[in-house]
Structure 1
Amino acid sequence: MTEQRRDRVTGTVLIAAFALWTALVQIVDVRPVGQNGTDIGFATFNTWFHGLTGVHMGIYTATDWLGLVPVAVCLGFGALGAMQLIRRRSLLAVDPDLLLLGIHYALIAAAYLVFEMCPINYRPIPIDGVMETSYPSSTTLLVLGVMPTLACQAVTRMEDGLAKGAIVASVSAFSALMIVGRLVSGVHWATDIVGSVLLAAGLFAMYRYAVARVEARPSAMRSEG
């Protein structure tokens, strides 16, 4: 199996798994154990895990602020695409991987908006006295949806092997830190984190597949000529 096909299969499976997980969260062991008696799926597991970790607002605040890092990454690549658009005077002249990156980020934003408008469940605790939606974890989705693209772009665009390795290692460490931080902070149910991981990984795999497919077209056209 080629890497391109592997990414397509992986992405499809993970997105399907996310859809199934989302359905299961709404039908398996659903009990009114959330804020103000709101229903929570996998209630036994979620309440057990939440009791195990407790609530750590310091970790929550730290991971919230660190969530600005992937936002900065998005803005940075947006600026790069805008510069290419201005210099080359055509949207079609912008690097295809940057255009696909913009679509990928738009899908992440769309997923966030959909689940904000159609809440699956709410956080275990109020944030500043407000009940907030909790599924999937938006910070986890943002981090895992954006940071791996930084690693991909670094590998593609940079020539210095040492710098590439440093960025890939930093992205991996940062992403792992953020997942663990959100998981143990106690501001999400554990199933919220699982949902975000499935969706973000699925979208990222499909992004990789789309980039590989677009980049393969010129060589295919040359071989046909």
Structure 2
Amino acid sequence: MSTKNKKKFILTVVLFMLFAAFTVLTAKVDVKPIGPKESEVGLASLNQFVFQLSGVNLFWYHLTDWLGVIAVLTAVGFAVLGMYQLVKRRSLFQVDYRILLLGVYYILVSAVYILFENFVINWRPVILHKSLEASYPSSHTMIVICIMGTAMMLFHHLLAGKKIWLRIADGISLLLMGVTVAGRLISGVHWFTDILGGLILSGAMLMLYSSMASFADEKRKRRTQKG
């Protein structure tokens, strides 16, 4: 493994450790009943301060929901591309390896989502659907960044050399991620630490995919050189 890839894997581990430490901090420090129905929230003073500044704005909540739909459709598009390659090439091993890795990655992202829906760290600062809902980390933030972040990597792989298309794809992806993060915070449906936790976890997940893709690149190059 090259030094560059080793650094990528080390950064991946560091980010996951940072997320774990931040999660413990959020769950155990300054826990107060400041949420709806006196639900307890970690890092309460910080979260309450930011929430009072932003308030609740359901326009941004609905807007970011639709941006999430666009992200999911992007993931579906890559899944369809993988299925097309599988049918056309008649072998799973002939499907673009980065798309195969992406399929595994999506499964991992889904597993993380399910995990935090069942093991609640914080509840939402507002009640949207008659009952308390899990809020940490912001699953919406995580999903959009994880999907659009890897989409950017795939676009650079699939559209290599097509600078204009890459600039458009990068611009749209960055816009979706930026508006989602800012909009989710402004909407007031998450605590500040939910957004921050989602960002850290997303960064770790993206580095994991990048590390695995780079490792696969190296293995393919070695096989080509030997051949």
Tell me the TM-score normalized by structure 1. 0.95
Q: What residue is the counterpart of 2:68 in the other structure?
A: 67
Partner Cα separation in structure 1 for residue 78 and residue 225 of structure 2: 32
Residue type of the alignment partner of 1:126: I
For 1:124, the equivalent position in structure 2 comes to 125
- Per the alignment, residue 152 of structure 2 pairs with 151
For 1:216, the equivalent position in structure 2 comes to: 218
Give the residue type in structure 2 aligned to 1:205: M
| Equivalent residue, structure 2, for 1:49 | 50
1:188 and 1:13 map into 2 onto residues whose CA distance is 25
Distance between the aligned counterparts of 2:72 and 2:223, measured in 1?
Answer: 37
Show CA shifts across 1:44-82 (max 9, x none). 000010001000011111111211011001100000111
Q: Give the letter for the 2:6 counterpart.
A: R
Output the aligned Cα RMSD.
1.4
CA distance in 2, matches of 1:9, 1:144: 21
Q: Give a deviation string over 1:159-217, Cα, whole Å, max 9, x none.
A: 31111112112211221111000011100000000111111111111101101111111
Whole-Å separation in 1 of the counterparts to 2:85 and 2:69 = 24
Amino acid corresponding to residue 134 of structure 1 in structure 2: S
Cross-structure match for 1:107 = 108
Residue in 2 that maps onto 1:205: 207
Secondary structure of the residue aligned to 2:28 is coil
Q: Deviations over 1:78-128 (max 9, x none)?
A: 001111111222222211101100111111111110111111111001003
**Deviant stretches of 4+, over 2 Å:** 1-7, 221-225
Whole-Å Cα distance in 2 between the matches of residues 104 and 73 of structure 1? 14
Matched residue, 2:179: 177
Deviation at 1:221, TM superposition (A): 2.7
Judge conservation of contact 2:67–2:176 (CA < 8 Å) in 1: no
1:169 and 1:110 mapped to 2: Cα distance? 29
Alignment partner, residue 14 of structure 2: 13
Equivalence for 1:83: 84
The answer to whether the Cα contact below 8 Å between 2:30 and 2:42 also exists between their aligned partners in 1 is: yes
Contact 2:152–2:169 (Cα < 8 Å) also in 1: yes
TM-score (norm 2): 0.95
Contact 2:149 2:173 in 1 (8 A): yes
Q: CA deviation at 1:146?
A: 0.5
What SS is found at the alignment partner of 2:130?
coil
For 1:219 and 1:160, the matched residues in 2 are separated by 23
Q: How far did residue 2 of structure 1 move? A: 4.5
Structure 1 unmatched runs, 5+:
none
In the TM superposition, residue 12 of structure 1 has moved relative to its aligned partner by 1.3
Letter in 1 for 2:123: Y
The structure-2 alpha-carbon separation of the partners of 1:169 and 1:6, relative to structure 1 and needing over 3 Å to count, comes to: farther
Shift of 1:6: 3.0
My pick for the range that moved more, 53-62 or 212-221, is 212-221
- Contact 2:35/2:125 (<8 A) preserved: yes
Which of residues 189, 195, 198 is equivalent to 1:196?
198
Q: How many residues align?
A: 225
Partner secondary structure for residue 128 of structure 2: coil
